[in-house]
Amino acid sequence: MAEFTSKEQQFLSFLHEQNAYKEALTTLQWDSHTQIPRGGVDSRSEVVGILSGKLQEAETSDRMKDFIEEMKATSDNELILQAAAECEQVYDKNRKIPNAEYQEYVTLCSKAEAVWGEARNKDDFSLFEPYLSRIAGYNQEFAERFGYKEHRYDALLDTNEPGITVKTLDEVFPELRKSLTGLIEQVQASPVKADVSLLKTPFPTVQQKALCEAMLKLIGYRMEDGRLDTSAHPYSFAINQNDVRLSTKYVQDDFRASVFSAIHEGGHALYEQNIGKDLAGTPLSAASSMGMHESQSLYWEMFVTADYGFWEKNYDWFRSFAPEHFKSVSLDEFYLALHDVKASLIRIDADPLTYPMHIMMRYEIEKGLLNGDMKAADLPTIWNDLMRDYLGVVPENNEDGVLQDIHWSSGDFGYFPSYTLGYLYAAQLHNTMKKEVPFDECLKTNDFASIRNWFTENVHQYGKTKQPLDLLRDATSEDLNPTYLVEYLTKKYGAIYQF
């Protein structure tokens, strides 16, 4: 345990106060997703608004500025210096946007979310268009205030994925797109056809829940330091390292919705549960970036529990939870059905080969809106053109098209690329991990601890003390390299679809 000076202690206590607000807000967020009665919603928004305001006040206070300066000048403790640097980033960013302007923006977004819902129901993009246009305008201005070197969009990328720029994505995405297009064509041309209907049979919720919990325990999620609830949108809520809660959703005749969402959220939770204890209560006790967080959820969902070895070992065990129906479905039929590939309109329903296409076209749109090459009014047409180019399918209405995601109405620009970056990080980390841990052998014996420990050692424990690209380079001795994902998918789908 490091010795702290009394000034350092005061700084840490100040950070713990802010952490208390964060814990309270996350607990309320969990409650809002899983428990709250309808009548509680309005008052809840107000309470969340007040608490968030208090937190932001502290983060941008003169007291914070004084602490940052003093720690930088006097401390030689690594943890204190890193915490001060993190606080300084937040301070600088938040101070760049005047409070009144930020409040206007938050109010605009909360209205926009409601209008987005209405526009979807009426399939009328013109209702949402003026809101989207203003939200994009605000984001252009925020980016100007945050500052950037080359592209305005870089400023927003930096918020979610420090170190990643338009230049990186413009190099990586086209290459990935080309490879995925080739793979999708090969799957489509293959005589092997998946039959998804084999997976669809009434599966009682109690049994699905028991299966979700058993699978979470199997991968090493500490159930005694968490819980699994039900919500419309699966989520993980990291209140602190010893209280990381999950939620999933249940679809009666398709167990995949609950089980793979639970594993996905479980992957997020493994990250949060295994951040270094010394970082607790500081802003460093968080994931390195949105993309690195996503790499961990996708890792357990795609690379572990969607691996043939996993099901070879566990299919009979799975059948002990599942309805009788699965007795007549062979392991190979089951595995093939899990790996159906189909170009479809909706991002959240997309399979691992087509999903990144949805992300890359959204990236093109966000970049276009931010640099002024695209206008909100033209988005329905642009959307449909991009869908045709990327996936060869075109929506018949805007609900299945440009209005399908909530992100833009909430002002979340610069976030979409993190989904695909997470996938690339996961594949690159997997490639290195396999050289150090006998992955296939581990699956034969359900030894997930060895796999998990590798990630804890190389990723989780560092929390926010390393930026994503540094973390990746330290763990894999290489910069971001998209070929690992392409190689992984080619090998996997080639084996399944025989090409």
Task: Kindly give, in sequence order, each residue whose CB lies less than 8 Å from that of residue 116, ignoring residues fewer than 6 positions away.
Answer: 128, 131, 403, 406, 408, 409
Query: In this complex, which beta carbon is closest to Zn ion, that of residue 18 or of residue 297?
Result: 297
Residues paired with residue 245 on neighbouring β-strands, in sequence order = 227, 237
CB of 248 to Zn ion, least distance (A): 12
CB of 161 to Zn ion, least distance (A): 14
Stretch of residues binding Zn ion (CB under 5 A), selected from 21-29, 146-154, 293-301, 358-366: 293-301
Residue whose CB is nearest to Zn ion in the complex, by number: 297
The active-site residue, picked from 129, 265, 272, 301, is 265
Binding of Zn ion by 160 (CB under 5 A): no
Stretch of residues binding Zn ion (CB under 5 A), selected from 56-64, 114-122, 294-302, 483-491: 294-302
Query: In this complex, which beta carbon is closest to Zn ion, that of residue 274 or of residue 297?
Result: 297
102-121 residues in contact with Zn ion (CB under 5 A) are none
What is the total count of residues that contact Zn ion (CB under 5 A)? Answer: 1
Tell me if residue 265 is catalytic.
yes
Query: In this complex, which beta carbon is closest to Zn ion, that of residue 82 or of residue 297?
Result: 297
210-249 residues in contact with Zn ion (CB under 5 A) are none
Query: In this complex, which beta carbon is closest to Zn ion, that of residue 19 or of residue 261?
Result: 261
Cβ pair 289, 162 in contact under 8 A = yes
Query: In this complex, which beta carbon is closest to Zn ion, that of residue 262 or of residue 376?
Result: 262
Stretch of residues binding Zn ion (CB under 5 A), selected from 210-218, 269-277, 290-298, 396-404: 290-298
**From candidates 274, 282, 285, 297, binder to Zn ion by CB under 5 A:** 297
Distance CA 362, CA 381 (A): 13
CB of 422 to Zn ion, least distance (A): 8
CB of 404 to Zn ion, least distance (A): 17
Stretch of residues binding Zn ion (CB under 5 A), selected from 11-19, 32-40, 249-257, 292-300: 292-300
Distance CA 230, CA 276 (A): 29
Active site residues: 265
Note the residues at the interface with Zn ion (CB under 5 A): 297
